[in-house]
Structure 1
Amino acid sequence: MGREVVIIGGGIIGLCAAYYLYKEGHQVTVIDKSNMDAGASYINAGYLSPSHIIPLSAPGVMKKGLKWMFNPSSPLYIKPRLDTDFLKWVWAFNKSCNPEHVKKSGKAIRDISVLSQELFQDISKSENFKSHYEKKGLLMLCQTEEAMKEEIYMVKMANDLGLAAKEVNLYDIKQIEPNVSIKSIGGTYFECDHHSTPHEFMNEMKAYLKKVGVSFFTNDEVEDLEFQNGNISKVKTQNQVLSADEFVLAAGSWSAFLSKKIGLKLLLQAGKGYRINTNREIKITVPAILAEAKVAVTPMNGFTRFAGTMEIAGISNHINNVRVNAIAKAVNEYYPEIELNQEEKLESASGLRPLSPDGLPYIGKSSKCNNLTIATGHAMMGWSMSTATGKLVSEIISDRQSSLDLTPFHIDRKF
Structure 2
Amino acid sequence: MSKKVIVIGGGIIGLCSAYFLQKEGHEVTVIDKSGLDSGASYVNAGYLSPSHIIPLSAPGVVKKGLKWMLSPSSPFYVKPRMDLEFLKWAWAFNASCNSKHVERTAPVIRDITILSQRLFEDIIKSEKLNAHYKKKGLIMLCQTQKMLEEEIKILKLAQSLGLEAQEYSIRDIESIEPNVKINSIGGTYYKCDHHSTPHEFMTQLKTHLKDVGVTFRSNDEVVDFKFSDRKITNIITTKFNVAADEFVLASGSWTAKLVKKMGLKLLLQAGKGYRIDSKQKTKITVPAILAEAKVAVTPMNGFTRFAGTMEIAGINHNINKVRVEAISRAVKQYYPNIEPTEQEKSNARCGLRPVSPDGLPYIGKSSKFCNLTIAAGHAMMGWSMGTATGLFVAEIISDKKPSLDLKPFHPERQF
Q: Which TM-score band applies after superposition, normalised by the shorter structure?
A: over 0.9
Aligned residues: 415
The separation in 2 between residues aligned to 1:261 and 1:233, in whole angstroms, is 14
Letter in 1 for 2:301: N
User: After alignment, is 327-336 or 222-231 more displaced?
Assistant: 222-231
Cross-structure match for 2:378? 378
**Equivalence for 1:363:** 363
Q: What secondary structure is seen at the aligned counterpart in 1 of 2:181?
A: coil
**Could you list the per-position Cα deviations for residues 335-364 of structure 1 after superposition, in whole angstroms to 9, with x for gaps in the alignment?**
000111100000000000000000000000
Instruction: Tell me the secondary structure at the aligned position of residue 305 of structure 1.
Output: strand
Shift of 1:292: 0.4
Task: Write the letter of the residue equivalent to 1:210.
Answer: K
Task: Tell me the residue number matched to 1:158.
Answer: 158
Deviations 1:84-126, CA, capped at 9 Å, x for gaps: 0000000000000000000000011000000000001111111
In the TM superposition, structure 1's runs of 4+ consecutive aligned residues that sit over 2 Å from their partners are none
Is 1:279 the counterpart of 2:279 in the alignment? yes
Residue in 2 aligned with 1:340?
A: 340
The alignment status of 1:227 with 2:230, answered yes or no, reads no
TM-score by length of structure 2 reads: 0.99
Residue 191 of structure 1 corresponds to 191
Deviation at 1:261, TM superposition (A): 2.0
Q: Which residue of 2 aligns with 1:256?
A: 256
Which structure 1 residue ranges, 5 or more long, are not aligned?
A: none
Counterpart CA distance in 1 for 2:15 and 2:102 is: 29
SS at match of 1:262: coil
Q: In the aligned structure 1, how far is the partner of 2:305 from the partner of 2:261?
A: 38
Q: TM-score, normalised by structure 1?
A: 0.99
1: CA distance, partners of 2:248 / 2:383:
18
Distance in structure 1 (CA, Å) of the matches to 2:362 and 2:390: 12
Q: Distance in 1 between matches of 2:368 and 2:173?
A: 51
Distance in structure 2 (CA, Å) of the matches to 1:254 and 1:337 = 40
Which residue matches 1:141?
141
What's the counterpart of residue 107 of structure 1? 107
Distance 1:227 1:138 in 2: 47
Q: Distance in 2 between matches of 1:8 and 1:305?
A: 29
CA distance in 2, matches of 1:157, 1:312: 28
One-letter identity of the residue aligned with 2:344:
E
Report what 1:8 is aligned to.
8
| Paired residue secondary structure (2:261) | helix
In the TM superposition, residue 130 of structure 1 has moved relative to its aligned partner by 1.0
Question: Counterparts in 2 of 1:160-309, with a 5 A limit?
Answer: 160-309=160-309
Contact 1:262 1:368 (8 Å CA) reproduced: no
Alignment-mate amino acid for residue 199 of structure 2: H
Structure 1 residue 280, shift from structure 2 partner? 1.0
Report the Cα offset of residue 70 of structure 1. Answer: 1.7
The amino acid of 1:68's aligned partner reads: W
* Paired-residue identity, %: 67
In the alignment, structure 2 segments of 5+ residues that lack a partner are: none
Corresponding residue of 2:131? 131
On the 8 A contact 1:78/1:312 being kept in 2, the answer is: yes
Cα RMSD after superposing both structures: 0.5
